[in-house]
């Protein structure tokens, strides 16, 4: 192919982003002796683009050597072309591609040094007009640096993108030093570093250390630009968050310590009082309440159940006492299949069932239906591993939407905590994501039916 | 070793607080077992004790804000003291006994190879502490089979539900650690595979490990294979997963990586490399220079020379170097 055809074909592929097909043609074009420096210069930029795009994610290799050689040749050519013929945009684009190359290929330790060296080379070789004006100024290169840090910050496909972005940012901050003319860029880079430190914490870093680091970057940003609203608002938010977190931790610590003390005192009491005495019964009741309190605390924060609480238990042992407590007849309970134990956390399943039964009673009252002799029917299906709770209390209002969402309730304002079903579902899911609470499909006429699924859990 | 021969250092800022039943009862329970317990309420006192006497077991709290102390004034917490003890490692088994612990604390201390962690707020907390102290007192690491550092080989990987990493991503992280080939298996197979084949390291991940005994027993069985190979565990560090994370800490993996951290992928690679490269001795943690200097000052070098005689090997080398 002659020069014109090669140029046309390679460019057609290049501008339609068919980089893999364009690359061999661009290489071939690069070998032509009759090319002007300017044409060769443009072609080298296109080669760099293609090389990076085709080999992205493959790490160091022959292509990286080719990229570096191509870059060296580009820099040499840059000094040989007429500055008036150079457009700043392609030069800045090549600078951006080179920074991307460093982020792609260099080790974490090397990114900073390589990026700084590249910045210096581009800035040094930026074509100068006869008037002494640079075709591309430092500030324009730095705009590219800021954009590249931002791009890498969001480059979620690369597992260590945040660390790479931070390395580039820190190195460039060092490069800028305290020069007055770089104040806006120092602010922008410090703001990006604060963002990275906040949203991508290091595995070895404690929360308070992270907040300190974020606040430090923002402080630097504000020193460079005292009126930068982003830094101002972010810093006040982080400082407040750090103080609040500390207070919550203290509160959590004191509460847990006190609860531990109460539990310990009750253990002492239990040892001291005669077994079977009335006081002994009271101590046991208080212990149960304390245990319930801990359980609720864990549910509110979606905390995993304790290891030792898991039991193999026939669900009838959970259901029957709940019916007895309410004075409801044995006919409320049905069993399907061969009875046997299920592996579950009894306290959590009990809470879910209690909430469902409480809802049932409230529903009868709300719909002005007298509590029937058999207010509900709980069916334990040992084969399907389900507990179905059905009532005749008027049914669930379809207008409510997702009844398991917090604060969705058909109850009046007076009773409206709206957390009953949410908590019931949470009590099941916190045991295992495979444990579920659902509205049965279809809903029975004039009543509601909920279904609890407690499947056998395989090993992961 | 009888309990009477086991010295225990107990650090808690509520040690003299009459309302702090759990602390007082814990100390009493240990003394009742016969352990020689020294109780301190300041972090600086615990550091001083390091230079004064060897303790077989060091039990410490994390939040130490109730007592004024140079370290608490500087915002330091018990985790820092635990780290210093491990950095200046003299063989003391470090056990955390705290109601404060949060994700940061857990990840921090487990990676310093503490002996165990008991949450004060848990049921039977004191019984658990006493059991753990007994285990620590009975343990002797001198008989440990030391592995050969591995620069290449197979790494056994089990993804028991880590949503952030699929198989190719995990393979990439293992390969980033060095000349290692990932071999994938299920949690059920993992312990068995470790007995069948030679592995440079093992990597086990889940967003959140279930607290079912069947699952945790498998994790324990995998960790029991250490140090051949060392095991790296990754999970999402959240306070909600306290029950499973504390179990993982007590299984004593070589590394625990918080998968929610921004640098989790790199941290996994580094952990696999460290696990495989482990040379067999205690890991070197960076100790604060002031504590190292203090340790050096406390050594009576002359007495040591007299006791053991000057090291002729080193002295000969030194003399040779001095020869013109």
Q: How confident is the model over A170-217, as pLDDT tens digits?
A: 999 999 999 899 999 999 999 999 999 999 988 777 788 899 999 999
Asked whether the predicted pLDDT for residue B322 surpasses 70, the reply is: no
Cα(B41)–Cα(B30) distance, integer angstroms: 17
Q: Are residues A10 and A138 in the same domain?
A: yes
Cα(A206)–Cα(A213) distance, integer angstroms: 11
Residue B298 C-alpha, separation from nearest chain A C-alpha, in angstroms:
32
Q: Are residues A279 and A365 in the same domain?
A: no
Confidence tier at A227 by pLDDT (50, 70, 90): very high
Interface of A with B in 152-171 (CB under 8 A): 159-160, 162-163
pLDDT at A75: 93
pLDDT at A409: 56
Q: Are residues A287 and A414 in the same domain?
A: no
Within 8 A by CB and 6+ apart from B36, the residues are B4, B5, B6, B7, B8
Q: Are residues A67 and A177 in the same domain?
A: yes
CB contact under 8 A, B242 and A302: no
Q: Are residues A256 and A201 in the same domain?
A: no
Asked whether the predicted pLDDT for residue B281 surpasses 80, the reply is: no
B125: which chain A residues are within 8 Å (Cβ-Cβ)?
260, 263-264
pLDDT at B317: 45
**Across residues B30-56, what is the average pLDDT?**
94
According to DSSP, the β-strands at A386-391 and A449-453 are antiparallel
Q: Are B263 and A160 in contact (CB under 8 A)?
A: yes
Q: Determine what percent of chain B is predicted with pLDDT higher than 70.
A: 89
Query: Quick check: is A460 in a domain?
Result: no
SS3 content of chain B, % helix, strand, coil (to 5): 45, 15, 35
CB contact under 8 A, B210 and A432: yes
Q: Are residues A142 and A275 in the same domain?
A: no
**Across residues A97-101, what is the average pLDDT?**
96
Confidence tier at B310 by pLDDT (50, 70, 90): low
Q: What distances in angstroms separate CA A387 from CA A113, A300, A391, A411, A425, one per listed residue? A: 64, 24, 13, 24, 13
Confidence tier at A415 by pLDDT (50, 70, 90): very low
Confidence tier at A391 by pLDDT (50, 70, 90): very high
Measured between CB atoms, which of A301, A432, A459 is closest to B188? Answer: A459
Check residues A240 and A83 and name the one with the higher pLDDT: A240
> With an 8 Å Cβ cutoff, is B240 touching chain A?
yes
Confidence tier at A142 by pLDDT (50, 70, 90): very high
What's the angle, vertex CA A198, arms to CA A195 and CA A200, rounded to 5?
95
Quick: pLDDT tens for B105-139. Answer: 899 899 999 999 999 988 889 999 999 999 999 88
Asked whether the predicted pLDDT for residue B320 surpasses 70, the reply is: no
CB contact under 8 A, B214 and A459: yes
Interface of B with A in 88-117 (CB under 8 A): 99-100, 102-105, 107-108, 111
Asked whether the predicted pLDDT for residue A23 surpasses 80, the reply is: yes
Q: What distances in angstroms separate CA A132 from CA A84, A127, A136, A294, B32, one per listed residue? A: 12, 10, 12, 75, 87
* Average pLDDT, rounded, for chain B: 87
Query: Quick check: is A136 in a domain?
Result: yes
Q: Are residues A241 and A291 in the same domain?
A: no
Asked if the peptide bond before residue A442 counts as cis, ω within 30 degrees of 0, the response is yes
According to DSSP, the β-strands at A449-453 and B36-40 are unpaired
Q: Are residues A301 and A175 in the same domain?
A: no
**Alpha carbon B244 to its chain's center:** 17
In the listed set A267, A292, A307, which residue is the last one of a domain according to the structure? A307
Domain tally, chain A: 3
Confidence tier at A407 by pLDDT (50, 70, 90): low
Quote the DSSP letter at residue A399.
Answer: G
Interface of B with A in 163-192 (CB under 8 A): 169, 172-173, 186-188
A310: which chain B residues are within 8 Å (Cβ-Cβ)?
211-213
**Across residues A4-33, what is the average pLDDT?**
92
Residue A243 C-alpha, separation from nearest chain B C-alpha, in angstroms:
13
Q: Are residues A184 and A223 in the same domain?
A: yes
Asked whether the predicted pLDDT for residue B146 surpasses 70, the reply is: no
Asked whether the predicted pLDDT for residue B158 surpasses 80, the reply is: yes
Q: Are A165 and A152 in contact (CB under 8 A)?
A: yes
The conformational region for residue A449 under phi > 0 = left, psi -120 to 50 = alpha, else beta, is: beta
Query: Quick check: is A459 in a domain?
Result: no
Q: Are residues A196 and A329 in the same domain?
A: no
SS3 content of chain A, % helix, strand, coil (to 5): 65, 5, 30
Report yes or no for ipTM above 0.85: no
In the listed set A245, A264, A297, which residue is the last one of a domain according to the structure? A245
Cα(A62)–Cα(A444) distance, integer angstroms: 69
Confidence tier at B280 by pLDDT (50, 70, 90): low
The range of the structural domain enclosing residue A335 comes to 309-453
Q: Are B265 and A163 in contact (CB under 8 A)?
A: no
CB contact under 8 A, B265 and A206: no
Q: Where are the beta strands (DSSP E) in B244-323?
A: 255-258
pLDDT at A427: 92
CB contact under 8 A, B188 and A261: no
Cα(A240)–Cα(A242) distance, integer angstroms: 5
Cα(B101)–Cα(B74) distance, integer angstroms: 19
Nearest to B163 by CA among B259, B257, B249: B259
Check residues A318 and B63 and name the one with the higher pLDDT: A318
Q: Are residues A217 and A318 in the same domain?
A: no
Q: Are residues A329 and A228 in the same domain?
A: no
Asked whether the predicted pLDDT for residue A367 surpasses 50, the reply is: yes
pLDDT at A419: 60
In the listed set A307, A327, A348, which residue is the last one of a domain according to the structure? A307
Measured between CB atoms, which of B99, B160, B241 is closest to A257? Answer: B99
Cα(B43)–Cα(B68) distance, integer angstroms: 10
Contacts 24+ apart (CB under 8 A), B134-142: B134/B3, B134/B33, B136/B56, B136/B57, B136/B93, B136/B95, B137/B1, B137/B3, B137/B6, B137/B35, B137/B56, B137/B57, B137/B93, B138/B1, B139/B93, B139/B115, B141/B91
Q: What distances in angstroms separate CA A167 from CA A96, A197, B187, one per listed residue? A: 16, 12, 36
Cα(A340)–Cα(A332) distance, integer angstroms: 19
Confidence tier at B282 by pLDDT (50, 70, 90): low
pLDDT at B33: 95
Q: Could you tell me which residues are beta bridge partners of residue A390?
A: A377, A449
| Domains of chain B, start order | 3-142 (3.40.50.2300), 152-277 (3.40.50.2300)
Query: Quick check: is A458 in a domain?
Result: no
**Alpha carbon B33 to its chain's center:** 25
Q: Are B49 and B38 in contact (CB under 8 A)?
A: yes
> With an 8 Å Cβ cutoff, is B261 touching chain A?
yes
The conformational region for residue A418 under phi > 0 = left, psi -120 to 50 = alpha, else beta, is: left
pLDDT at A416: 43
* Average pLDDT, rounded, for chain A: 90
Q: Determine what percent of chain B is predicted with pLDDT higher than 90.
A: 58
Residue B189 C-alpha, separation from nearest chain A C-alpha, in angstroms:
10
A207: which chain B residues are within 8 Å (Cβ-Cβ)?
102-104
Compare all CA atoms of chain A with the CA of B211 and give the residue at the minimum distance: A307
Check residues B324 and B66 and name the one with the higher pLDDT: B66
Confidence tier at B156 by pLDDT (50, 70, 90): very high
Nearest to B200 by CA among B239, B152, B234: B152
pLDDT at B315: 46
Q: Determine what percent of chain A is predicted with pLDDT higher than 70.
A: 97
The two three-digit tokens of residue B284, written as one number: 């070197």
Check residues B214 and B297 and name the one with the higher pLDDT: B214
CA atoms lying within 13 Å on the CB side of residue B4: 0
Cα(B22)–Cα(B247) distance, integer angstroms: 21
């Amino acid at each position: 192919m002659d020069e014109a055809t090669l140029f046309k074909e390679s460019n057609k592929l290049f501008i339609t982003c068919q980089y893999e097909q364009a690359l061999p043609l661009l290489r071939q074009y690069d070998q032509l002796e009759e090319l002007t420096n300017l044409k060769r210069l443009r072609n080298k930029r296109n080669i760099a683009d293609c090389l990076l795009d085709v080999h992205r994610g493959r790490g160091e290799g022959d292509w990286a050597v080719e990229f570096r050689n191509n870059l060296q040749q580009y820099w040499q050519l840059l000094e040989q072309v007429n500055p008036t013929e150079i457009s700043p945009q392609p030069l800045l684009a090549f600078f951006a591609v080179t920074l991307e190359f460093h982020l792609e290929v260099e080790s974490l330790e090397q990114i900073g040094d390589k990026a700084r060296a590249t910045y210096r080379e581009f800035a040094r070789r930026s074509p100068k007009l006869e008037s002494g004006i640079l075709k591309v100024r430092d500030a324009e290169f730095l705009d590219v640096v800021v954009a590249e840090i931002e791009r890498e910050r969001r480059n979620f496909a690369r597992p260590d993108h945040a660390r790479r972005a931070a390395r580039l940012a820190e190195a460039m901050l060092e490069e800028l030093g305290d020069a007055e003319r770089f104040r806006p860029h120092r602010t922008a880079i410090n703001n990006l570093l604060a963002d990275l430190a906040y949203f991508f914490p290091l595995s070895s870093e404690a929360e308070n250390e992270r907040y300190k680091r974020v606040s430090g970057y923002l402080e630097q940003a504000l020193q460079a630009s005292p009126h930068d609203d982003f830094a101002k608002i972010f810093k006040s938010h982080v400082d407040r968050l750090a103080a609040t977190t500390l207070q919550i931790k203290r509160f959590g610590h004191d509460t847990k310590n006190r609860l531990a003390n109460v539990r310990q005192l009750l253990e002492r009491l239990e040892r001291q009082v005669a077994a079977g005495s009335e006081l002994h019964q009271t101590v046991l009741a208080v212990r149960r309440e304390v245990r319930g309190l801990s359980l609720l605390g864990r549910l509110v924060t979606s905390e995993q159940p304790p290891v030792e609480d898991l039991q193999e238990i026939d669900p009838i042992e959970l259901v029957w006492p709940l019916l007895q407590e309410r004075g409801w007849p044995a006919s409320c309970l049905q069993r399907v299949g061969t009875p046997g134990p299920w592996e579950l956390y009894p306290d959590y399943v009990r809470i879910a069932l209690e909430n469902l039964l409480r809802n049932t009673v409230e529903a009868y009252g709300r719909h002005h239906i007298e509590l029937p002799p058999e207010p509900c029917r709980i069916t334990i299906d040992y084969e399907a591993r389900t507990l179905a709770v059905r009532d005749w209390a008027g049914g669930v209002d379809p207008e409510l939407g997702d009844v398991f969402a917090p604060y969705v309730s058909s109850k009046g304002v007076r009773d409206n905590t709206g957390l009953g079903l949410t908590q019931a579902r949470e009590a099941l899911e916190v045991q295992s994501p495979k444990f579920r609470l659902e509205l049965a499909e279809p809903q029975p006429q004039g009543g509601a039916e909920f279904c609890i699924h407690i499947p056998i859990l395989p090993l992961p | 070793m009888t309990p009477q021969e086991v010295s225990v250092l107990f650090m808690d800022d509520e040690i003299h607080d009459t309302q702090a039943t759990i602390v007082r009862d814990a100390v009493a329970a240990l003394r009742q077992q016969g352990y020689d317990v020294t109780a301190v309420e300041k972090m600086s006192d615990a550091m001083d004790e390091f230079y004064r006497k060897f303790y077989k077991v060091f039990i410490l709290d994390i939040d130490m804000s109730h007592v004024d102390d140079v370290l608490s004034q500087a915002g330091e917490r018990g985790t820092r003291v635990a780290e210093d003890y491990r950095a200046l490692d003299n063989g003391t088994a470090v056990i955390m006994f705290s109601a404060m612990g949060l994700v940061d604390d857990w990840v921090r201390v487990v990676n310093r190879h503490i002996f165990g962690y008991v949450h004060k707020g848990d049921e039977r907390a004191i019984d658990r502490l006493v059991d753990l102290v007994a285990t620590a007192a009975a343990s002797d690491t001198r008989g440990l089979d030391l592995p050969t550092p591995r620069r290449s080989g197979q790494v056994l990987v089990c993804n028991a539900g880590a949503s952030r990493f699929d198989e190719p991503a995990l393979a990439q992280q293992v390969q980033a650690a060095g000349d290692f080939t990932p071999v994938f298996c299920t949690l059920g197979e993992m312990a068995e595979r470790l007995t069948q084949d030679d592995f440079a390291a093992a990597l086990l991940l889940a967003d959140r490990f279930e607290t079912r005994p069947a699952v945790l027993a498998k994790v324990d069985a995998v960790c029991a294979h250490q140090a051949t190979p060392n095991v790296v565990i990754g999970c999402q560090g959240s306070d909600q997963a306290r029950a499973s994370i504390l179990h993982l800490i007590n299984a004593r993996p070589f590394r625990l990586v918080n998968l929610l951290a921004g640098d989790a992928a790199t941290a996994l690679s580094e952990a696999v490399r460290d696990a495989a490269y482990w040379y067999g001795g205690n890991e070197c943690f960076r100790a604060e220079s002031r504590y190292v200097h203090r340790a050096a000052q406390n050594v009576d070098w002359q007495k040591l020379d007299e006791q053991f005689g000057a090291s002729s090997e080193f002295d000969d080398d030194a003399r040779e170097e001095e020869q013109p």
